[in-house]
Amino acid sequence: MLVYVPAVIRETPAGGDDDLYVLSRFFAINSEEAAATYAAEFETNELAKELIQVYNMAVQDTQYLEELENDSYYTKRLNEAQLAEAVAEAVAETEAKARADERAKTKKEFTTALELLREKGHDFDTAIRIMKGEIASN
Write out pLDDT tens, residues 53-86: 999 988 888 888 888 888 888 777 767 778 888 8
Q: Give residue 5's domain range.
A: 1-60
CA distances from 98 to 7, 36, 62, 92 (A): 34, 50, 49, 10
Does the pTM of the predicted model rise above 0.75?
Answer: no
For residue 6, tell me if it sits in a domain.
Answer: yes
**Cβ-count burial 94-126 (b if 16+ within 10 Å, e if not):** eeeeeeeeeeeeeeeeeeebeebeeeeebeeeb
Question: Does residue 8 sit within a domain?
Answer: yes
The verdict on residue 70 lying in a domain is no
Overall domain count for the chain: 1
Whether 38 maps to a domain, the answer reads yes
The answer to the question of residue 94 being in a domain is no
Instruction: Note the pLDDT of residue 119.
Output: 79
Predicted confidence at residue 98, as pLDDT, reads 92
Q: Does residue 29 lie in a domain region?
A: yes
Answer yes or no: is 46 within a domain: yes
